[in-house]
Copies of this chain bind each other. A is one copy, B any other.
């Protein structure tokens, strides 16, 4: 059930059997959520964090004029709001983009983990820092990359993140979101996303149709996007 979560954690650090057991016993019941459902709003006091078992979830912030910026996408195995453990309330919303299966971890259980499992605490701290690293990379995209580079980069990121949890190959993965959602991730308009997707298709780099991505030339795509996976911290510089 939480195998994808463990795959994600173990891609970055060792998790002992004891720690795995501690994680399992900290989780509550599994919940299904419909698509397009905002389940966390800014400022609400939170008492548990949300682990995504299946589906796509996003964090987003609104501007008063109705514009929206998605700040991160979450896939199976990710905590969507582990940071709410220390923050207590969030500065952003969290919503499902597809139907999702989630499971909750009470903050009380996380407090117990911080008191009994220092290493696992650091693993989860790491996990929120990984989210921050993704935020930084998106800042770079939003601030400095062209539209075509931004789109290419997002697909590179999702391909790699999904492959860690066994949901992507080098050529294919599902990303069942609309072009409008991509636009909200990338700081673009849906119309322009559409035009750029056409360009990517016509130059033989990538196809995106009805939520399915086909990467035609991964090397060229990464090159065009200036994709450097360092920020996903998949390289272990030394064994712990």
Contact = CB atoms under 8 A, between A and B. Distances in A.
Contact of A142 (B67, B115, B121, B139): B139
Contacts of A132: 83, 128-129, 131-132, 135
Interface string A86-113: 1111011000000000000000000100
Interface stretch (A172-180, A211-219, A226-234): A226-234
What DSSP secondary structure best describes chain A's contact surface? Answer: helix
Contact of A237 (B65, B88, B129, B133): B88
Interface residues of A, number: 53
Nearest to A88: B237
Interface stretch (A16-24, A56-64, A160-168): A56-64
Contacts of A86: 122, 125-126, 129
A43 B122 contact: no
B114 A121 contact: yes
9 closest residue pairs by CB, A with B: A143-B187, A135-B135, A142-B142, A132-B132, A91-B231, A86-B126, A69-B143, A83-B129, A71-B136
Interface of A: 42-43, 45, 59, 61, 63-65, 67-69, 71-72, 83, 85-89, 91-92, 111, 114-115, 118, 121-122, 125-126, 128-133, 135-140, 142-145, 186-187, 226, 230-231, 233, 237-238
